[in-house]
Chains A and B, each alone.
Chain A
Amino acid sequence: MAEETNLVETIVDHYDGDEGMLIPMMQDLQAEYGYLPADGLRCLSKSLAMPLSRVYAVATFYSSFRLAPKGAHDVTLCMGTVCYLKGAPDILDAICKEFEVEAGGTTADRLFSLQGVNCVGACALAPVMVVDGKYYDGVTPASAIEILEDLSPAQESSDSNTKEDQA
């Protein structure tokens, strides 16, 4: 908390406390953590004497802001027609139950972010799961879970990719 307060104050000073620069301030905050921590937003609200509801409104209005950290790994499950017919929904369910995550969300330990998409165009490989750009074909609920369990854990230090993530 103290760390966030210091950083926020540094950021606010850098922009001379100009509330019109709220978006660049949030971008700087997100560059540091990879997302916008709730306490960081509370600090901004205090430093700028701006209602928290307005800070939250700005953080949720613009597409480039994330309020939850992204997982260390990107997991995409194809829900196109063929994959669907071949059991993709069951695989999705199994992953969600096993790792306690929702489609579109991130696991609590930030291991991976899960997404369902419409057809990755690899129907011959159905059902398809893509992890960090690598395609896995013919997955089953069991094999999908095994693949994800083998993922290397999230690093403690902040993502070096965060600046690119924003673009």
Chain B
Amino acid sequence: MILPTSAKLNSPADLESLVRRYQQDNSSVAKCVRVCVGTGCAAKGSRKLYELFCEAAEQSDADVTIEAKCVGCHGFCERGPIVVVEPGEGLYQRVEEPDVAEIFRETVLGGRIVERLLYEDPATGKKASEAAEIPFYRVQQRIVLAGNGRIDPTRITEYIADGGYGALAKAISSMTPEEVIDQVEIAGLRGRGGGGFLTARKWRSCREAKGATKYVICNGDEGDPGAFMDRSIMEGNPHSVIEGMLIGAYAIGSKQGYIYVRNEYPLAVEHLKMAISQARDIGLLGEKILGSSFSFDIKINRGGGAFVCGESTALMASLEGRPGEPRAKYVHTVESGFRGKPTNLNNVETWANVPHIINRGGEWFAGTGTEKSKGTKVFSLVGNVVNTGLVEVPMGITLRRIIEEIGGGVPDGKSFKAVQTGGPSGGCIPAEHLDVRVDFDELTKLGSMMGSGGMIVMDEDTCMVRVAHYFTEFLQKESCGKCTPCREGLAQMLHILNRIITGEGEVGDVEELGTLAELLEGTALCALGKTAANPIISTIRYFRDEYDAHILDRHCPAKQCKGLFRYEIDAEACKACGICLKNCPVDAITGEKKVPHVINQDKCTLCGTCWDTCPFSAILKV
């Protein structure tokens, strides 16, 4: 158990001796049980598990020190709650309350494995006794997520014992601000929030901008549906973000930073607040940090519920206490941003990469990835995939490896249809391109983008026109409404898509969508509007046949759009049980005992009740 100190650190040497002290404290702990309390596992009751383990540790009369601690998201959310026992890194998955006693007795005290709680590879049946053996983790390269699942995010002591804030000490005491920027430039770090700008260039421009007051901002407004990378980092390792911002502020010459967290992430806000307070207590935030002349502090602000606030100028407007409306970027925010001052805004994951770059050097970082996309990227792999969760992989890995090797492929014997990347600003990538090497530029060439890292896998039952409709509707609700093309253009595109999915599509609709897409891209005020038509355009590009089927044949090939497919009873599978007949609200089904039932298509309202209630799966979607 590491006991916190209340003494302020006045020099890098102070930090070093603190690290040594913490590591010594740690070494007296013989066994540790780490329970994930990230939002996913917590939703399955992992907090209670943590409490039970704590109790067990306290009541144990073993003569070694045993500790239970709560940690942030491991990423393997599909298999939560996750419990890891040290030493040995034995990973247990889908742990329930009755398992706690057994784990404690067998593994913690006895050093034996509880086989049934280990991960079992569905393909080979092999059990993995360590995390590293699990395919989900084996292919990953966890650098930004390294601390997640190992350290307790609510205790700065753990971060420090793990080497945290060492990069800050190194930067402040042995590097000039320009040298810090040089390392980030050599690293080739590009923004992880979607824009993909070269981070060093941004920092340099901000540093060189006129004016003494400069701001650094962390964009924690992760709004893409299906993306939760930043949430995990903010919840599971908040100090990594703070340290990154400290180093950036030092390089740029800023004294004040802001972390803007979206309203829907209360746990992230809580952990960040704790982290900031603890960092202040020992002098890592505030005046004269580690005895240098560098002073910096951070304020946390929350969003009010608006996707558009992920856009940098909208975020700054929101930080100023205004509606989150973007503004023109003809004069960039590094020159005139928050409150009209030079401002450097970076995404959570971008900031979290910085300490690693300073610790191990820009060249080390540039050793991973592709020519123009260096380092690793955290993706959230969700949708129709066996292993949903967070994965961190080197840039340049193929989509296929991510989805099949790490993700375990598409479940229930269905086939892969497409993967949506880049959220509402991105596009879908079909099976024929699964071997694309994932990086900023390759995905863009295919008509999508990496975006913040959301990857939504879709199987054969997905209607791609509905996917376009879903994103368009989402964007229309989230549009700030300031500029004509986004506000009116999205409404027009949604109107057309509504007609298409209800069987009222007209010849020329696809072309009209293309015209509107071009108009939005050229004239919209901000990136939300400019990229708003991407989901539509990319689904047209790869799935034009589905649009044609909806428009020309009034038929939905994926059988998702109500009214654009029929229900029929499979005469061979039908057991004439009569359940569908009894439940049909419009009496459209006829049949007698032992005679296969029939649906009267003229009466049928396509409500799907028969599909829902048939116990023999004898209803077919046609």
**Do the beta carbons of A27 and B302 come within 8 Å of each other?**
yes
Whether A54 pairs with B302 at a CB distance below 8 angstroms is no
Cβ B585 vs Cβ A61 within 8 A: no
A60 to chain B, nearest CB (A): 8
Q: In the complex the two chains form, is B613's CB within 8 Å of A65's CB?
A: no
Interface residues of B in 574-603 (CB under 8 A from A): 583, 585-586
Question: Which single member of B301, B304, B324 contacts A20 (CB below 8 Å)?
Answer: B301
Q: When each residue 75-96 of chain A gets 1 if its CB lies under 8 Å from chain B and 0 otherwise, what string results?
A: 0000011100110000000000
Within the assembled complex, what's the spacing in Å between the Cα atoms of A80 and B605?
Answer: 11
Stretch at the interface among B168-176, B315-323, B464-472: B315-323
Per-position binary interface string of chain B over residues 362-390, scored 1 when its CB falls under 8 Å from any chain A CB and 0 otherwise: 00000000000000000000000000000
In the complex the two chains form, what is the Cα distance from A23 to B303 in whole Å?
Answer: 7
B606-617: contact bitstring with A at CB < 8 Å (1 yes, 0 no)? Answer: 111100010000
Cross-chain contact of B305 among A19, A64, A85, A126 (Cβ < 8 A): A64
Q: Is the CB of B585 within 8 A of A167?
A: no
Task: Provide the main secondary structure of the chain A interface.
Answer: helix
Question: Are A63 and B304 closer than 8 Å at their CB atoms?
Answer: yes
- Docked-complex contact B585 and A86, CB < 8 angstroms: yes
Is B266 close to A, CB under 8 A? yes
Cα A20 to Cα B306 with chains together (Å): 16
B94 at the interface (CB under 8 A from A): no
Q: Would you call A153 an interface residue if the criterion is a C-beta within 8 Å of the partner chain's C-beta atoms?
A: no
Residues of A within 8 A of B609 (CB): 123-124
Q: How far is the CB of B588 from chain A (nearest CB, A)?
A: 11
Q: Are A19 and B320 in contact (CB under 8 A)?
A: yes
Cα-based distance from A126 to B585 in the complex (angstroms):
8
Evaluate contact between B613 and A124: CB separation under 8 angstroms: yes
* B235-266 residues at the A interface, CB under 8 angstroms: 263-264, 266
Q: B585: which A residues are within 8 A, CB to CB?
A: 82, 86, 123-124, 126
What is the CB-to-nearest-CB distance from A98 to chain B, in angstroms, rounded to a whole number?
A: 26
List the B residue with the shortest CB-CB distance to A126. B585
- Given the known interface contacts A82-B605, A124-B609, A124-B613, the answer about A22 and B321 at a Cβ–Cβ threshold of 8 Å is yes
Question: Which A74-128 residues sit within 8 Å CB-CB of chain B?
Answer: 80-82, 85-86, 123-124, 126
Q: Is A57 an interface residue (CB 8 A)?
A: yes
8 Å CB interface, A1-29 against B: 19-24, 26-27
Kindly identify which residue among B305, B319, B605, B606 contacts A62, using a CB–CB cutoff of 8 Å: B305
Given the interface pairs A23-B303, A27-B302, the reply to whether A64 lies near B321 with Cβ below 8 Å is no
Is there contact, CB below 8 Å, between B263 and A61?
no
> Residue of A at shortest CB range from B300?
A24
Report the bound CA distance from A129 to B609 in whole Å: 18
Select from chain B the residue with minimum beta-carbon distance to A164: B266
B437 at the interface (CB under 8 A from A): no
B607 x A57 contact (CB < 8 A): no
Which one of B263, B583, B605, B613 has the highest number of Cβ atoms from chain A below 10 Å of its Cβ?
Answer: B263
A54–B318 Cα distance when bound, in Å, is 12
B562 located at the interface, meaning its Cβ lies under 8 Å from any Cβ of chain A in the complex? yes
Chain A residue with Cβ nearest B324: A61
Q: Residues 351-368 of chain B: 1 if any A CB is under 8 Å from the residue's CB, otherwise 0?
A: 000000000000000000
CB pair A58 B304 closer than 8 Å: yes
8 contacts between A and B (CB under 8 A): A24-B302, A26-B304, A48-B321, A57-B322, A62-B304, A64-B305, A82-B585, A123-B609
Q: What is A's interface to B at a CB cutoff of 8 Å?
A: 19-24, 26-27, 48, 50, 54, 57-58, 61-65, 80-82, 85-86, 123-124, 126, 166-167
